[in-house]
Amino acid sequence: MLEVRHLTKIYDDGTQALKDVSFSVPDGEFMVVIGLSGSGKSTMLRCINRLIDPTEGEIIWDGVDLAQLKGDDLRNARRKIGMIFQHFNLVKRSHVLTNVLTGRLGYTSSWNSLLGRFSSQDKEKALVALKRLGILEQAYKRADELSGGQQQRVGVARALMQDPKMILADEPVASLDPVLAHSIMQYLEMLNKEDGMTMICSLHYLDLVQRYSTSVIGLKDGELVYEGGKDDILAMTDEQFKNIYGEEAERVGSGLEGNLQANAGGVA
Amino acid sequence: MTDKNLNLDHIIPEDAREPSLVPAPAAALASLVVPGLGQALTRSVRRGLILFFSFLTVVGLILWRFTLAAPRDTGWWDIFKKGLYLDPFLIVVSFLFAILYLWIAFDAYSLARDRQNTPLGVFVFLAIMFFALGWQIGKINLYSFVTNADEALPALGRVGWPWEKAISYESVIFQAEADIEIPCSETPPAVNVVTDEPTLVSSPTCGILSVQEGEPGSELHLEGYNFSPGIEVNIMWKDPIGNEFRQRQGGKYVIIIPDENGYFETDIIMPYRLLPPSATEPTYIWNVFARQVAERGKAKLSDDFKKIVEKMIETIFIGMMATFFGIIFALPVSFLAARNLMSASWVTLLMYYLVRAILNIIRSIEPIIWAIIAVIVVGLGPFAGILALVLHSIAALGKLYSEAIESIDPGPIEAIQATGANWLQTVIYAVIPQIVPPFVSFTIYRWDINVRMSTIIGLVGGGGIGFLLIQYIRILDYRSAGMCVWFIAITVAILDYVSAEIRARFT
């Protein structure tokens, strides 16, 4: 159970990115955060794993306030939280396998890292992760030789290496085309359902939201403006979506528009 | 105005819409009195100022060139006449100057008549004026360039194809001698028999030596066989105690060149005796001999060639060592010169500006200047060259490295931090993989530059091939200089190719 209470973030330049945001995510949930660019989604996700330090508020996860953690405690908490990025954030010149193995750094000693060593179990684990995501053949290629969809799968594999209980996905499909978007979302759904990982994912497309999420929160100018469960999302109309989103809301795949029942069958 | 929608008045500059303050002829007259004043009076003040100061500059330059052309004359008129006489190109300059003066007046006139049409002709002509002055100041002389071009051909030919000097031949000595008895006895030495070997035949085979202030000695007729054709033969003597000296005849050494069969003949007067005339001497055998040094032996690489190769290797290593030390010092410096790392507080930011300023100053001074300073400190030789290049490399690499650090992608750093990695792990897995390729690429490129530079550094005594090159040029040995140039060109070409290959692998 993740409980965010009164989360506020004011940047050094005075920008207020988050204003008193509170919500909770039960374990095993697939929660989607929607909102315009600049509405505070990325800031909120980064506050949870403390890539950004919140100005005020509490982030209680399994009884521990993440906002108060420092040093080794913070790193130990971080390694249980995987993160997936819009631009994949792979080290482009390193091999795919090396990129995946970096997910294991939280469990590796500094000395071994200095020598560039990972245990053979870790290597095996990395290969298993790559196989699970269907890119085992790419293991020894440089990361920048892969296509966008493959790079994001490397990003997912890296998060998987951490044995996370929760995954934060910051617009994981915003850089991909609609078909790849679904494929990546299906991998996240698989991790959510099969491995029971809690998912917190920011998304832009209503049909992806309706198809994959079990709960939704909406942010606008750093404030929480919408909170809904599975039923609310399916009942959500384009107009409601646009209220949160402004006029720029879009759907992926016109054939799905308005046909919410078809979503249950999955999208090929 | 038929089309009222197309009113462009609002885009015309404010000052251009006002009419001129004075009528056109008055503006022209004003510009004749003070160039640029007429333009100012038509409200084009900036244009007037530009023309006024340009005109002043032109006047100053022309006066300077005239006084320089006629340094011994006094009085402006004399200087003017003498200047035109001594440097005919000044006629062109003066003529253009007169046109410029009138054109400025004409410009004021046309500007006063039509304020919205600002002709650029006067500025184009101003540029032509400066071009003519530049031609005169630069003493450009196409005539001598064209007519004397052929004088460079011999030197160019030697530099262009210097390889005759790369090979030398072992010298072979051909020598033959004949015994001469002094003075003649009843049984003088036998006459040499001509064989296949070089042979010297003297007739007669005995005689008396010349005496100082006295009788000249006997005359000998010498014939040489089987010498090397076309190569100088020296006639020499060896006295009984083994002293060798050359035969003189009429105040000159005797040098004969054999014909195509290797045969020569000459008559000599026997040399002076070394003992005073009163001293009595027993009969001695002296040797007269002919010696020829012919370069007919095995071909081998010349000493110059070997020296050039040695110095080329030295040059490459000067470049390498300079790059090596440059890297060592530039690495820490580059972190201090990276803005993204140093912008945390004003103290570090101050340090950033300080380091950047120092790097820029060192970099802006040419390595050749550093080499001159280094030669004063450590003396002539490769170490001075290395020092000069190290300084320049630190500055150049420090800047390039720091820019590589500034341009790293923060994304992977964020991603690695998110996995629970500590600071060291983040640096190893997110920062270093990003900066190593540009670092390698810049370093290789720097090595390339350093080798090229070290040839120049040598000119001022910094060791390496440049040192040798400047010496060959000074003794007018264009062939050896040409070999140096060839070696430098070949090395630079190879290095350029290799460094491009390596850099391609790291991007």
pLDDT of residue A248: 55
Does residue B154 lie in a domain region? no
Phi and psi at residue A142, in whole multiples of 5°?
-70, 145
What one-character-per-residue DSSP string does B416-469 give?
HHHTT--HHHHIIIIIHHHHHHHHHHHHHHHHHHHHHHHHHHGGGT-SSHHHHH
Residues B362 and B498 in one domain: yes
Closest CA–CA distance from residue A243 to any residue of chain B (Å) = 32
Does residue B378 lie in a domain region? yes
Q: What is the pLDDT of residues B310-325, one digit of tens each?
A: 999 999 999 999 999 9
The token pair that represents B121 in the structure block? 């002709």
Q: Is B188 on the interface with A (CB under 8 A)?
A: no
Residues B358 and B439 in one domain: yes
Q: What is the pLDDT of residues B150-162, one digit of tens each?
A: 888 888 888 888 8
Does residue B274 lie in a domain region? yes
pLDDT of residue A99: 93
Name the helix (H) or strand (E) containing A262.
Answer: helix A260-263
Q: Is B24 a residue whose pLDDT tops 60?
A: yes
Alpha carbon distance B32, B236 (integer Å) = 89
Domain boundary among B122, B140, B158: B140
pLDDT band at B278 (very low <50, low <70, confident <90, very high): low
pLDDT of residue B275: 65
Among the partner-chain residues A87, A102, A162, the one whose CB lies closest to the CB of B411 is A87
Q: Which of B269, B259, B337, B315 is nearest to B447 (CA)?
A: B315
The CATH number of the domain where B215 resides is what?
2.60.40
8-state DSSP, B273:
P
Indicate whether this complex's ipTM tops 0.90. Answer: no
Does residue B286 lie in a domain region? yes
pLDDT of residue B11: 59
**Mean pLDDT score of chain B, rounded to an integer?**
86
Q: What is the pLDDT of residues A214-233, one digit of tens each?
A: 999 988 888 888 888 878 88
pLDDT of residue B463: 85
Does residue B341 lie in a domain region? yes
Domain boundary among B278, B297, B316: B297
Residues B268 and B310 in one domain: no
Average pLDDT over residues B395-417: 91
The token pair that represents A170 in the structure block? 């910051």
Domain boundary among B297, B321, B340: B297
Cβ of B420 within 8 Å of Cβ of A105? The answer is: yes
Residues B350 and B427 in one domain: yes
Closest CA–CA distance from residue A241 to any residue of chain B (Å) = 30
Residues B68 and B196 in one domain: no
Q: Is B423 on the interface with A (CB under 8 A)?
A: no
Residues B119 and B243 in one domain: no
Which domain, by its residues, includes B132? 15-140
Decide: B238 and B287 in contact? Cβ < 8 Å.
yes
The token pair that represents B339 in the structure block? 């803005």
Among the partner-chain residues A94, A106, A108, the one whose CB lies closest to the CB of B433 is A94
Q: Is B182 a residue whose pLDDT tops 60?
A: yes
Q: Which of A39, A43, A70 is nearest to A55 (CA)?
A: A43
Q: Which of A100, A101, A90 is nearest to A151 (CA)?
A: A90
Does residue B7 lie in a domain region? no
The CATH number of the domain where B319 resides is what?
1.10.3720.10
Among the partner-chain residues B412, B419, B422, the one whose CB lies closest to the CB of A162 is B419
Cβ of A114 within 8 Å of Cβ of B414? The answer is: no
Alpha carbon distance A158, A130 (integer Å) = 9
Closest CA–CA distance from residue B494 to any residue of chain A (Å) = 28
Does residue B6 lie in a domain region? no
Residues B209 and B317 in one domain: no
Count of structural domains, chain B: 3
Q: What is the pLDDT of residues B110-143, one digit of tens each?
A: 888 877 777 788 999 999 999 999 999 998 888 8
Q: Which residue has the higher pLDDT, B206 or A98?
A: A98
**Which residues of chain A register pLDDT less than 70?**
246-268
Among the partner-chain residues B419, B422, B436, the one whose CB lies closest to the CB of A103 is B419
Residues B134 and B190 in one domain: no
Residues B344 and B400 in one domain: yes
Residues B318 and B228 in one domain: no
Cβ of A90 within 8 Å of Cβ of B420? The answer is: no
Residues B337 and B256 in one domain: no
Does residue B150 lie in a domain region? no
pLDDT of residue B358: 94
For B142, B155, B394, the CA distances from B147, given in Å and listed in that order, are 9, 16, 47
Q: Which chain A residues are closer than 8 Å to B412 by Cβ?
A: 89-92
The CB density around residue B227, as the number of other CB atoms within 10 Å, is 26
The helices-and-strands tally (H runs, E runs) of chain A is 11, 10
Bond before B433 cis per omega within 30 degrees: no
The helices-and-strands tally (H runs, E runs) of chain B is 19, 12
pLDDT of residue A241: 73
Decide: B10 and B17 in contact? Cβ < 8 Å.
no
Residues B441 and B321 in one domain: yes
Q: B339-345: which pairs have CB atoms within 8 A and are 24 or more residues apart?
A: B339/B402, B339/B406, B340/B405, B340/B406, B340/B408, B341/B405
